[in-house]
Amino acid sequence: MTGRDLNRAALSVLLSISIVVGCRALALAAVPATAPANPAFVMPDQQREEALPKGDAARGEDIVNSSCSFCHSLTRGGGDSAGPALFGVVGRPVASIASYTYSGALKQHAAQTWTPRLLSDWLKAPSHFAPGTRMSLAGISDPGQRADIIAFLQTLHEQPSPTEHSP
Ligand code: HEC
């Protein structure tokens, strides 16, 4: 290689670098950054939470029978035992069975309703949800298992009788 060749080689390297840099600058100028400096709308925490996984009621029934039915009745008209009756619990206000004596800890939540989300929070760690609760259950840490339990609890409600709506 002669010195001239070297110069040429250096020049072409320089040229290609400046082409790449120039193209990038051009592209950046042509396509403005779209993210606003201040997001105009911030999602409330509630909506930012992940959706609850979809549960399987049949699997949930097995878990409830082995982990909950010892302390809770599950059938229509079932009374209270160590814990309050769970028939119809989804959609029911928290700590609302008149015949059952709830702890003050759970009664603190009496303004809330047992939605699937609230049940999931409760079952994850009862003593964290309501410190001082009398429900001595360590908690169900697996979100999938909680979803299964809740799917089963959702089946424990009054079925409208077929004749109920006819004149
Ligand atoms: C060792 C007994 C025991 C076990 C096991 C148990 N619970 Fe409970 N549960 C209780 C008691 C006691 C309360 C009332 C808590 C209080 O007043 O602080 C309760 C309250 C509840 C409530 C609130 C009901 C209402 O009327 O507000 C729900 C829901 C519930 N339990 C679901 C479950 C589920 C689901 C399981 C199984 C995964 C389970 N529990 C396992 C004893 C138990």
Mean pLDDT for 27-42 is 61
Architecture of domain 53-153: Orthogonal Bundle (1.10)
Confidence of residue 51 (pLDDT cuts 50, 70, 90): confident
What is the number of the ligand 1 atom nearest to the C-alpha of 153? 35
State yes or no: pLDDT of 132 exceeds 80: yes
Ligand 1 atom showing the smallest separation from residue 105 Cα: 18
Smallest CA-to-CA distance from 53 within 144, 125, 153 is with 144
pLDDT for residue 14 is more than 70: no
**Alpha carbon nearest to ligand 1 atom 34, residue:** 68
Among 65, 68, 133, which residue has the most ligand 1 atoms within 8 Å of its CB, making it the best to mutate? Answer: 68
Answer yes or no: pTM beyond 0.85: no
CB-based pocket (< 6 A), ligand 1? 64, 67-68, 70-72, 82-84, 86, 89, 94-95, 97, 102-103, 105-106, 114, 119, 123, 130, 133-137, 140, 149
- pLDDT at residue 79, as a whole number: 94
| pLDDT tier at 5, thresholds 50, 70, 90 | confident
More confident residue, 13 or 124: 124
Q: Cβ(78)–Cβ(68) under 8 Å?
A: no
Cβ-based burial of 128 (10 A; exposed 0-12, middle 13-18, buried ≥19)? exposed
Q: What b-and-e string marks burial along 93-126, b requiring 16 or more CB atoms within 10 Å of the CB? A: ebbebeeeebeebbebbeeeebebebbbbbbeeb
Phi/psi of residue 93, nearest 5 degrees: -60, 150
Mean pLDDT of the chain: 85
The pLDDT of residue 9 is above 90 = no
Q: Can you tell me the distance from the alpha carbon of 62 to that of 137, in angstroms, rounded to the nearest whole number?
A: 17
Residues 66-94 have a mean pLDDT of: 97
Cα 161 to ligand 1 centre (Å): 29
The percent of residues in the chain predicted with pLDDT above 90, rounded, is: 63
The residues facing 113 across adjacent strands are: 93
Residue with the larger pLDDT of the pair 147 and 29: 147
Torsion angle, alpha carbons of 116, 47, 56, 82, to 10: -20
Protein residue with its CA nearest to atom 37 in ligand 1: 68
CB atoms within 10 A of CB 147: 23
Looking at the CA of residue 82, tell me the nearest atom of ligand 1: 12
Instruction: Specify the pLDDT at position 127.
Output: 97
pLDDT beyond 70 at 24: no
Of 103 and 165, more confident:
103
